[in-house]
Chain A
Amino acid sequence: MPLDLGRVQKEIRDIERDKASGVTIEIQGNSLQKLIGRLNGPRDTPFDGGVFYVDIQLDDQYPFVPPKMRFITKVWHPNISSANGAICLDILKDQWSPALTLKTALLSLQALLSSPQPDDPQDAVVARQYLSSLAEYQSTAKQWTQTYAHAQQVVGLEAKVQAIAEMGFGREQALEALRRANGDEQQAMEFLLGA
């Protein structure tokens, strides 16, 4: 069965209408299966002032399976891979329910930034630092926020992904390289060709 477009369209409209939630969503290309979510770093955390982008992919089975979400913006957090943005969050895995939505999932990511769960880490190095030296963790996380989480980071991202994909690379690969290159297309190409 194809993706339930009616529900996804409603969800997107609902996010657009709700200006107070602090999360937004953008459609990538002309299908509704690839989206980019955006959330603000929560106050009183090392992520305060940052803007975080999330790559969202919807399977045909959505909402009966969770959306695939991954941070595009580099984040220093015990439950987010500092290497590839993979997220460890129960509702994106076995605790997903079709009563949840893209909005509630993005809000959960925001909540995850506020309350790390170092006992169930996605990034063991960050988790160890969090447990052994909280001040150091906070300072690194803050530094990463200042370096990577600014608003302009994904301007024209999809165009760059397309351009790289036209060279014969996969979308995932292109996104990954752009992420490592912090959005620099030239540098991303060099990563891909050098790899």
Chain B
Amino acid sequence: MTFEVKIKKWHAVASWTWNAGDDVCGICRMPFDGCPPDGKFPGDDSPVVWGICTHAFHLQCINRWLQSQTEQKCPFCRRQWEFKQAVVGGEDSDS
């Protein structure tokens, strides 16, 4: 006995998350998948960035910190802060 199923319509549902190891930003303590305090929308409007030291923050948060400092250091490890270049089309393996 077999059924024949005709699909009339369907809704695609996708979920996304930043591939960041810690679930909250170490500066604002808000989830990476949420917004920093001055952000309005999660996702592309509140991007997460990595330093070459592998620590991640909301872009707005780390920028505000670096702008307030003469020395550009990672808030966690105090190493010289340099933005890690995004790997286009590849999986970012940092965690």
Q: Is there contact, CB below 8 Å, between B38 and A98?
A: no
Q: Is there contact, CB below 8 Å, between B78 and A7?
A: no
Q: Is there contact, CB below 8 Å, between B37 and A98?
A: no
Q: A1-B38, A64-B68 are in contact. Are A98 and B26 (CB under 8 A)?
A: yes
Q: Which residue of B lies closest to A64 (CB)?
A: B68
Inter-chain contacts of A154 with B (CB < 8 A):
none
Minimum CB–CB distance from A141 to chain B (whole Å) comes to 32
B53-78 contacts to A (CB < 8 Å): 61, 64-65, 68, 73, 75-76, 78
Q: Is there contact, CB below 8 Å, between A6 and B26?
A: no
Interface size on A, residues (CB 8 A): 13
Minimum CB–CB distance from B25 to chain A (whole Å) comes to 10
B-side interface mostly: loop
Inter-chain contacts of A11 with B (CB < 8 A):
29
Minimum CB–CB distance from A177 to chain B (whole Å) comes to 34
Inter-chain contacts of A4 with B (CB < 8 A):
28, 37
Per-position 1/0 for A1-22, Cβ under 8 A of B: 1001011001100000000000
Looking at chain B, what size class is its interface with the partner chain? 10 to 19
Q: Which residue of A lies closest to B78 (CB)?
A: A97
Q: Report if A181 contacts B (CB, 8 A).
A: no
Inter-chain contacts of B37 with A (CB < 8 A):
4, 6-7
Inter-chain contacts of A64 with B (CB < 8 A):
64-65, 68
Q: Which residue of A lies closest to B68 (CB)?
A: A64
Select one of B29, B64, B76 contacting A97, CB under 8 A.
B76
Give the CA-CA distance A149 to B26 in the complex, in Å.
34
Write the residues of chain A forming the contact surface with B, with a CB cutoff of 8 angstroms: 1, 4, 6-7, 10-11, 61, 63-65, 97-99
The 4 closest A-B pairs by CB, nearest first: A99-B75, A97-B75, A98-B27, A99-B26
Please give 16 more A-B residue pairs, beta carbons under 8 A apart, in addition to A6-B29, A6-B37, A64-B64: A1-B38, A7-B30, A10-B29, A11-B29, A63-B27, A64-B65, A65-B68, A97-B75, A97-B76, A97-B78, A98-B65, A98-B75, A99-B26, A99-B27, A99-B75, A99-B76
